Amino acid sequence: MQQAVPDAGLPPPAALVDGFAGAATAAPGPPGGGPGVRAAAAGYWHRRGLTTDPARTAAAPGGAALLLALVAAAGGEVLLPRPSASWYAAQPVILGRAVHRVPTTAESGGAPDPFAVLETVRRVRAEGGAPRLLVLSVADDPTGTVPPPELVREACEAAAGEGLLVVSDETYRDALHDPHATVLVSPAEMLPDDVVVLADLGGTLTPPGWPAAVARFPATRAGAALHAAVLAVLGTAVPPLPPPVEAAAAAALAEPPAVTGRLAAGVRLHTALTGAVRDVLTAAGALVRPPQAGYHVYADLEELRPALARAGVVDAVDLESAVVRALGSGARARAVGGATRFGDDLTALRLRVATGPLLGDAGGAHAAALAYAHDRPPAATPLTPAAAPAAPAPAVPEPAPPRDRPDRPARPARPHRQDRPERPERPDRQEPPAPTEWPQVAEALRALGAAVAELTGARR
């Protein structure tokens, strides 16, 4: 079973650990978080061009808890893209609300086809349903793609035109693989009165073991009413945010250099890993859209259906089971999830591969990952060989020019530079091996490619 929100698998920086430990004996804050974490959340969004009043924010122990409160407060039924993150659908189901899947386009995941949104809303209403929310993602889990801003706008306008509230999951907005070539625009910039922004910090800023998420509400009368209703649900149905986690979340949302450096390191690492996983899967015959964000890829093996059927694989459950068996036990088996976990069709031969588990459970994985991502040679670990740079030669200061002194004989002239012996060149710094060369990662990639090739009968 995969974790709900894939993360980079890197350790938290010391600043967050200190904040976490310092609040160990503090009393829990009010529902929705205390003033510190709310102000930090407002600052986080302000730096991204979304002016935010701290009084229009809320924090909770994880994105699932916030979405549960939003669904309960808004009422009605929920529209979700197909596919979408595994934790979306569980929240309306817990509340007894119907979930309606809306197909995405071939170009990307995250945002549903706007015409399909209109058709779904009208069909549900004709059947007596009451659609109220559309949840979408601008940096998508599970596909790892970023929908074009024009598609996001059209989907949001279609939903708002039908009276739906839009919930924009922006968990991975800061985990873009190539920020300069990828255009990401929040729906809250397009339709500020109709969009609630949600971000699970476990995907980027904090460890997933410290569950925390924040939400931003519209600065309207309806937004204030929704915010108050969400706080009421959080106060009665959701455990409070633990004080150590709240302190760490507030520190992370302030984005000190240690936190942003950890995030950049994780993104660099998983840009390499997702590219390698895509190469392995496409070599085995799968169709994989180029990953643009996050720590996962989504593979489509529909073209290999005849070969898979001969191996007894006819749906997403069979595909997940077969690949997991081939990968064996341990961390890397947790990397694979079949399409049904993400609301895709049961018959769809698709799966998500999360790259975090490919780092394995071995000690030293974090150190090796950080060393690579920071472009610094790691020490010897179970994952990588020793790659420490040679100690640099000490600098030799140049002597000061002689001064004329009548009471002291002049110093002899220094030899011409070309007559001096040459200094030995410093040895080049040994670059750390790429993640795909780490023994445990290389073995996981080989096993993944071999598993798919064996199922399809392809020759590698």
Do 233 and 300 fall into the same domain? Answer: no
Give tens-digit pLDDT for 262-318. Answer: 999 999 999 999 999 999 999 999 999 999 999 999 999 999 999 999 999 999 999
Do 230 and 348 fall into the same domain? Answer: no
Do 45 and 165 fall into the same domain? Answer: yes
- Using the predicted structure, report yes or no on whether residue 460 has a pLDDT greater than 50: no
Do 86 and 218 fall into the same domain? Answer: yes
DSSP-assigned letter for residue 10: -
Residue 157 within any structural domain of the chain: yes
Residue 281 has a pLDDT of 96
Average pLDDT estimate for 453-458: 81
β-strands 195-200, 350-354 pairing: unpaired
DSSP reduced 3-state for 134: strand
Identify the residue with better confidence: 340 or 403: 340
Average pLDDT estimate for 402-410: 53
| Inter-residue contact 315 to 296 (CB < 8 Å) | no
Residue 370 within any structural domain of the chain: no
CA atoms within 13 A on the CB side of 104: 29
- Using the predicted structure, report yes or no on whether residue 375 has a pLDDT greater than 70: no
Do 271 and 249 fall into the same domain? Answer: no
Do 234 and 270 fall into the same domain? Answer: no
Residue 292 within any structural domain of the chain: yes
Annotate 328-395 with DSSP letters as a single string.
-SSGGGGGEEEGGGGT--TT--EEEEESGGGG-S-TTHHHHHHHHHTT-PPPP-SSS---PPPPPPPP
- Using the predicted structure, report yes or no on whether residue 147 has a pLDDT greater than 70: yes
Residue 53 within any structural domain of the chain: yes
Instruction: Work out the number of other CB atoms within 10 angstroms of the CB of residue 436.
Output: 17
Average pLDDT estimate for 35-64: 97
- Using the predicted structure, report yes or no on whether residue 329 has a pLDDT greater than 80: no
Q: What CATH number does residue 66 fall under? A: 3.40.640.10
Residue 272 has a pLDDT of 94
Do 156 and 233 fall into the same domain? Answer: yes
Which tokens hold the place of 336?
Answer: 């694979």
DSSP reduced 3-state for 204: coil
Do 289 and 324 fall into the same domain? Answer: yes
- Counted domains in the chain: 2
- Using the predicted structure, report yes or no on whether residue 415 has a pLDDT greater than 50: yes
Domain end point (choices 223, 255, 287): 255
Domain that holds residue 312: 259-360+437-456
Average pLDDT estimate for 209-229: 97
Report the chain's mean pLDDT, rounded to a whole number.
Answer: 87
Q: Is 376 exposed, middle or buried (0-12, 13-18, 19+ CB in 10 A)?
A: middle
- Beta-bridge mates of residue 200: 213
Residue 248 within any structural domain of the chain: yes
- Using the predicted structure, report yes or no on whether residue 6 has a pLDDT greater than 90: no
Do 245 and 136 fall into the same domain? Answer: yes
Strands (E), 70-227: 77-82, 99-103, 131-137, 165-169, 195-200, 213-216
- Using the predicted structure, report yes or no on whether residue 380 has a pLDDT greater than 80: no
Give tens-digit pLDDT for 253-262. Answer: 999 999 999 9
Residue 458 has a pLDDT of 61
When pLDDT is cut at 50, 70 and 90, the band that residue 430 belongs to is: low
Strands (E), 150-212: 165-169, 195-200
When pLDDT is cut at 50, 70 and 90, the band that residue 8 belongs to is: confident
How many angstroms separate the CA atoms of 13 and 263, rounded? 10
When pLDDT is cut at 50, 70 and 90, the band that residue 437 belongs to is: confident
Average pLDDT estimate for 44-49: 97
Do 200 and 271 fall into the same domain? Answer: no
Identify the residue with better confidence: 251 or 365: 251
Residue 421 within any structural domain of the chain: no
Average pLDDT estimate for 88-111: 96
How many residues are present in the chain? Answer: 460
Residue 79 has a pLDDT of 98
Q: Which of 197, 251, 231 is nearest to 29 (CA)?
A: 231
Domain end point (choices 216, 234, 255): 255
| Inter-residue contact 10 to 369 (CB < 8 Å) | yes
Q: Is 455 exposed, middle or buried (0-12, 13-18, 19+ CB in 10 A)?
A: buried
Displacement of CA 325 from its chain's centroid (Å) = 26
Single pTM value for the model? 0.86
Give tens-digit pLDDT for 52-86. Answer: 999 999 999 999 999 999 999 999 999 999 999 99
Domain end point (choices 255, 282, 302): 255
Instruction: Work out the number of other CB atoms within 10 angstroms of the CB of residue 407.
Output: 4
Do 271 and 222 fall into the same domain? Answer: no
DSSP reduced 3-state for 293: strand
Do 288 and 153 fall into the same domain? Answer: no
Residue 353 within any structural domain of the chain: yes
Residue 424 has a pLDDT of 57
- Using the predicted structure, report yes or no on whether residue 331 has a pLDDT greater than 90: no
How many angstroms separate the CA atoms of 167 and 421, rounded? 70
How many angstroms separate the CA atoms of 203 and 182, rounded? 19
How many angstroms separate the CA atoms of 460 and 456, rounded? 11
- Using the predicted structure, report yes or no on whether residue 409 has a pLDDT greater than 70: no
Residue 169 within any structural domain of the chain: yes
Residue 223 has a pLDDT of 98
Q: What CATH number does residue 297 fall under? A: 3.90.1150.10
Residue 169 has a pLDDT of 98
When pLDDT is cut at 50, 70 and 90, the band that residue 203 belongs to is: confident
